[in-house]
């Protein structure tokens, strides 16, 4: 992507108006230059919503997405809140991705609406620290 100073300045201005810029933005780099250089901030931004989506084949691609997310979460600190609709994650695999069992609190919400509500609670209370 080409640098666009005018748009970047506008974005910064909007953020200032919305009062969101109090929190220092930081990011979690993947440590792979090819990936990090294409991400704003040089990695996945903390305090932001990221979607890890599989392909169309829900059950199978979802498994890979779960493992990928676990790998990312493993590189942060503190507890991880994992909201699921159905309990089909296998904890040993999550641990093998580096996210040890003591760190993950699972919330079994039953439906998508409750998952989102629980996640919102989590966002509201989580202390965002890199």
Partner 1 sequence: MARVVSLFLPSWSTDRVRRKASAAAPSAEAPLVLIGREGSRRAVAAVDAAAYGAGLRVGMAATKAQALVRDLIVQDADPAADAEALERLAIWALRFAPIVAPDPPNGLVIDTTGADHLHGGEAAMLETLVGRLAIAGAHARAAVADTWGAAHAIARHVERPIAIARARHGSAAFAELPLEALRIQPSTATALRTLGFQSIGDLLAQPRAPLALRFGPELGRRIDQALGDAAEPIEPIRPRGLIEVRRAFAEPIGAAETIARYVGKLVNELCERLEEHGLGARRLDLICRRVDNDAQAVRVGMAMPVCDAKRLTRLLCDKIETIAPGFGIELMTLAATVAEPLKRQQVVSSLIEETVADVSDLVDTLMNRVGERAIYRFAPVASDVPERSVCRVPAMAADSGADWPGHWPRPSRLLAHPEPVETVALLPDHPPVSFTWRGVRRRVRRADGPERVFGEWWKRDAELVAVRDYFRVEDDAGERYWLYRAGDGEDAATGSHRWFLHGVFG
Query: Which residues contact partner 1 (rule: CB under 8 A)?
Result: 54, 57, 59-67, 70, 77-79, 81, 88-97, 100-102, 104-110, 114, 117-118, 121-122, 125-127, 129
Residue 31 DSSP one-character state: S
Question: At closest approach, how far in Å is the CB of 86 from partner 1?
Answer: 9
Residue whose CB is less far from partner 1, 45 or 63: 63
Output the CA–CA distances (angstroms, integers) from residue 76 to 15, 35, 59, 88, 98, in the order listed: 25, 18, 26, 24, 11
| Buried-state track 112-125, b at ≥16 Cβ within 10 A, e below 16 | eeebeebbeebeee
Q: Please state, as a whole number, how many other Cβ atoms lie within 10 Å of the Cβ of residue 94.
A: 24
Residue closer to partner 1, measured from CB, 20 or 121? 121
CA 73 to chain centre: 7
Q: How many angstroms from the chain centroid is the CA of residue 60?
A: 20
Closest separation between CB of residue 100 and partner 1, Å? 6
Residue 114 Cβ, how far from partner 1 at the closest point, in Å?
7
At its nearest, how many Å lie between partner 1 and the CB of residue 14? 30
Residue closer to partner 1, measured from CB, 45 or 97:
97
In the bound state with partner 1, the residue whose beta carbon lies nearer, of 44 and 104, is 104
């Amino acid at each position: 992507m080409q640098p666009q100073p005018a748009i970047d300045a506008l974005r910064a201005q909007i953020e200032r108006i919305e009062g969101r810029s109090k929190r220092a933005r930081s990011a979690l780099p993947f440590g792979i230059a090819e990936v990090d250089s294409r991400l704003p901030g040089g990695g996945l931004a903390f305090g932001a919503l990221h979607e890890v989506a599989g392909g169309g084949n829900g059950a199978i691609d979802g498994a890979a997405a779960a493992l990928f997310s676990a790998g990312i979460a493993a590189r942060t600190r503190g507890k991880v809140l994992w909201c699921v609709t159905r309990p089909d994650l296998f904890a040993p695999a999550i641990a093998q991705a580096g996210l040890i069992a003591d760190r993950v609190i699972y919330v079994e919400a039953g439906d998508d609406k409750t998952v989102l509500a629980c996640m919102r609670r989590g966002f509201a209370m989580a202390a965002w620290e890199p």
